[in-house]
Structure 1
Amino acid sequence: MKVTTARVYGDPFADPSKQHELMGDLRTVVRRHTLPREDVPPPDELAASLKRAAEFRADTDYLKLLQLLPKLLGQVTATAMESDGDAVAWGNVADVYSCAYACAHRFRQPDLADMIVSRQQWAAQQTWNPEAAAAAAWNEAGTYQSAGEYSDGLAIIERAIVRYEKTPGDDLERVVHLGSLHLRGIVLASRHEDANATADHVRRAKALAERVTGPDVLQHNLTFGQGNTALYELAAQIELNHPDKAAEVAAPLLKTPPPGLKPSRVGRLAIDAARARLATKDLTGAEDALKYAFHVAPQMAEIHPMAREVLRVLWTLHQCSRPELLAMAKQSGLAS
């Protein structure tokens, strides 16, 4: 019947698209995770491809990322399999699966996202690599978050934190990974409407963020620092029914986004600002924030369910009088 799982779960696109074709290619290579068809590439070529994948993910350029991933997954896996258990090589495999997870998650293919997380965990477990294991747990908890199973997601995060804290080390990489686990905890706890757990994760994330001097740091597809911590705290205020506080915090952040944040994070800031402003009846402000999200991270904004919900409400209220809303609605598939 050629009905994709994305359509079953509510794909925002009405017709088959390039994304679906590329996602099919990704699904094939994920299924063949121990049987890569690609040869081991030259180290410089592989390093360049890994860098591009991370950049495409951070820039929310999902189409280019989907075009790159099938071949890259095969190459990075073939390299790791011939590395005699090298932790860096297997860590690269885990990182590429993290990029793949972002695509499956954004395009609403939860079954593929679950399979990708299992592959990421498989790669992380091939050698001693606590950072890769922590990053895999971050995405595993994300699958529970997407399913609305927030208490289970919190259990995954708490277990990952306990395990990671038992490993040696006290460098910046450790701060980024441990802090990122707490950021995921903030989302899950706030959506679970557990104010105490939310506050605890916020407190611990802030303490770790103070150790990041300068701009936020991006490592292994995880962004951490004082800026991203502020963004997660802002989003938590919305989930805990304090949109007025969230809107107040969002204003200066939108005017001057924290240094070090890539479009994936600045776009999400704008989406959350739009949500907060809509909840406080600031319709003009909500539209302005949404336009900024479409400007800085268009591929994310057009498919993100929260951005689409804000857009749907604004479009319903003002569809005849707001040409820029019409343009965003068409881009998102909400209008023809």
Structure 2
Amino acid sequence: MTAAAEIAALYQKDKNAEVLERLPAALMEAFATLHACEDEDEREVLVGVLCGLFYAAHAVTYQTGYEDLSVVVEDRIQWAARQSADPVARGFGDWVRTTSLMRMAAYDAGLRLLGDALTTVDPGSGQDTRRLRMTGSLHLRSAILAARARRPDIATDHVDEARHVATQVDTDTDNN
């Protein structure tokens, strides 16, 4: 979907107004395409596109002060991620969900959610870069939640785990 790539580029350039103009049509197209798709491999790609579009919607609504709308978008991201067999997509959905949990000071709920996500995404002894990146992100978000819950030992453990994961990822990448 060319529209999704263009929206991602606009989001990276911080052009929120243009993102908001283009999102409704792109989301409708992605939904329609996903619902009509019967090929499992293609569905996985479409779920990824839909998650990316929803993430742009989440970020822009949150950044522009529409926190109530960003919570609705979190629901949609989590729904889309659950349509995937990909543990990284599911982990991403849970990671995004913790944004509103942090705002509501539901730190323990967020830690439980991310604990489950870490189990699901676990790269094991393999070098699956996507899983490693998501695992690192989940540990960092868990560290924030633990720190806000005033549980410094748990926060430190998650920072240490994120550091360990970082040593296994061979390159610095942004959104790749």
Q: Does TM, normalized by the shorter one, top 0.5?
A: yes
Stretches of structure 2 lacking an aligned partner (at least 5 in a row): none
Q: Counterparts of 1:175-324 in structure 2 under 5 Å?
A: 175-219=132-176
Q: Is the 8 A contact 2:123 2:132 kept in 1?
A: no
Q: How far apart, in 2, do the equivalents of 1:147 and 1:59 lie?
A: 29
Post-superposition CA distance 1:223-274 (Å, at most 9, x none): xxxxxxxxxxxxxxxxxxxxxxxxxxxxxxxxxxxxxxxxxxxxxxxxxxxx
Q: How far apart, in 1, do the equivalents of 2:135 and 2:126 lie?
A: 11
Q: Which residue of 2 aligns with 1:56?
A: 10
Q: Which residue of 2 aligns with 1:307?
A: none
**2:64 aligned with 1:107:** yes
Deviation at 1:209, TM superposition (A): 0.9
Q: Which residue of 2 aligns with 1:72?
A: 26
**2:73 aligned with 1:116:** yes
- Which of 143, 159, 162 is the aligned partner of 2:119? 162
* SS in structure 2 of the partner of residue 216 of structure 1: coil
Stretches of structure 1 lacking an aligned partner (at least 5 in a row): 1-45, 220-336
Q: How far apart, in 2, do the equivalents of 1:166 and 1:207 lie?
A: 13
Q: Which residue of 2 aligns with 1:136?
A: 93
**2:102 aligned with 1:145:** yes
Q: Is the 8 A contact 1:130 1:167 kept in 2?
A: no
Q: Which amino acid aligns with 2:147?
A: S
Q: How far apart, in 2, do the equivalents of 1:212 and 1:50 lie?
A: 27
* SS in structure 1 of the partner of residue 168 of structure 2: coil
Q: How far apart, in 1, do the equivalents of 2:84 and 2:112 lie?
A: 24
Q: Is the 8 A contact 2:107 2:145 kept in 1?
A: yes
Aligned residues: 173
Q: Which amino acid aligns with 1:212?
A: V
* SS in structure 2 of the partner of residue 218 of structure 1: coil
Q: How far apart, in 2, do the equivalents of 1:134 and 1:167 lie?
A: 15
Q: Is the 8 A contact 1:154 1:189 kept in 2?
A: yes
Q: CA RMSD in A?
A: 2.1
Give me the TM-score of the superposition, normalised by structure 2: 0.87
Q: Given the superposition, is the C-alpha separation of residues 58 and 197 from structure 1 closer, same or farther in structure 2, using an over 3 Å criterion?
A: farther
Q: Which residue of 2 aligns with 1:94?
A: 51
Post-superposition CA distance 1:89-127 (Å, at most 9, x none): 122112211111112222233332222122112222223
Q: Is the 8 A contact 2:84 2:90 kept in 1?
A: no
Q: How far apart, in 2, do the equivalents of 1:127 and 1:152 lie?
A: 23
* SS in structure 1 of the partner of residue 175 of structure 2: strand
Q: Given the superposition, is the C-alpha separation of residues 103 and 175 from structure 1 closer, same or farther in structure 2, using an over 3 Å criterion?
A: same
Deviation at 1:58, TM superposition (A): 3.1
Larger gyration radius, structure 1 or structure 2? 1
Give me the TM-score of the superposition, normalised by structure 1: 0.48
Q: Counterparts of 1:3-42 in structure 2 under 5 Å?
A: none
Deviation at 1:157, TM superposition (A): 1.2
- Which of 130, 140, 152 is the aligned partner of 1:173? 130
